[in-house]
Amino acid sequence: MKRVLLSTAIASVLIASAAQASDGTINFQGKLTDATCQITIDGSSSPATVVLPTLSTQLLAATGDIAGRTQFNIELSGCTGLVSTSTAAAYFENGSTVDTTTNNLVNTTTGGAGNVQLQLIDIQSNNTIEIGRSSQTSSNTQVVIPNTAGASTGTTMLPYAVQYYALGTTTPGVVTSNVNFSINYQ
């Protein structure tokens, strides 16, 4: 009986060791900076509201129709801790208001307009922004922050836009949503 228990114990240890064998290594690397800026959206502190135009549902009658592009600027000023070639771009974060299929913002108004989302655009590249996707770090346009001796020398504008995006035939009503963002300094 003792031999059976000993054999079972040894076999269990060998099997557990094999199950825990390493198949590879992942290294992670990041960087923290003491760069910081005062941030406003079109001159207003956060949370700010960007108002889109009131449009007819006829402009948004089919899937993929877009209308009502409205530009807004994220403004950086009073930046400190910069290097001579510092750049910045906004990173729009995933959250409960993001449709992970379209990467657009869902309408959060109960009983509001139907079959419509809000889509963000990088004005400088004219590309749609895939909200919440890591691809933003390479696809969103990095804007140079002019600076002298590590401090910004004015206001830097990060230009973006928002527009209506139809998921099909839209129905009338209010459209609201929101998104969190952070500034990606490089």
Question: Is the pLDDT score of 173 beyond 70?
Answer: yes
32-35 contacts: CB < 8 A, separation 24 or more?
33/81, 33/185, 34/80, 34/81, 35/79, 35/80, 35/81, 35/82, 35/86, 35/185
122 closest CA partner among 94, 155, 158: 158
177 CA to centre of own chain: 14
| Model confidence band, residue 128 (pLDDT cutoffs 50, 70, 90) | very high
Grouping H, G, I as helix, E, B as strand and the rest as coil, residue 5 is: helix
Q: Which CATH architecture has domain 31-174+181-185?
A: Sandwich (2.60)
Quick one: pLDDT at residue 141?
Answer: 78
Quick one: pLDDT at residue 36?
Answer: 76
Contact 115, 168 (CB under 8 A): yes
Taking residues 137-150, what's their average pLDDT?
76
Q: Where are the domains of the chain?
A: 31-174+181-185
Cα separation values, 47 from 96, 144, 167, Å: 17, 24, 27
117 closest CA partner among 102, 127, 129, 132: 102
CA angle 156, 160, 163 (to 5 degrees): 160
Question: Is the pLDDT score of 11 beyond 60?
Answer: no
| Model confidence band, residue 8 (pLDDT cutoffs 50, 70, 90) | low
Question: Is the pLDDT score of 12 beyond 60?
Answer: no
Structure tokens at 15: 């099997």
51/145: higher pLDDT = 51
134/41: higher pLDDT = 41
| Model confidence band, residue 62 (pLDDT cutoffs 50, 70, 90) | very high
Any idea which residue has 């960007």 for tokens?
50
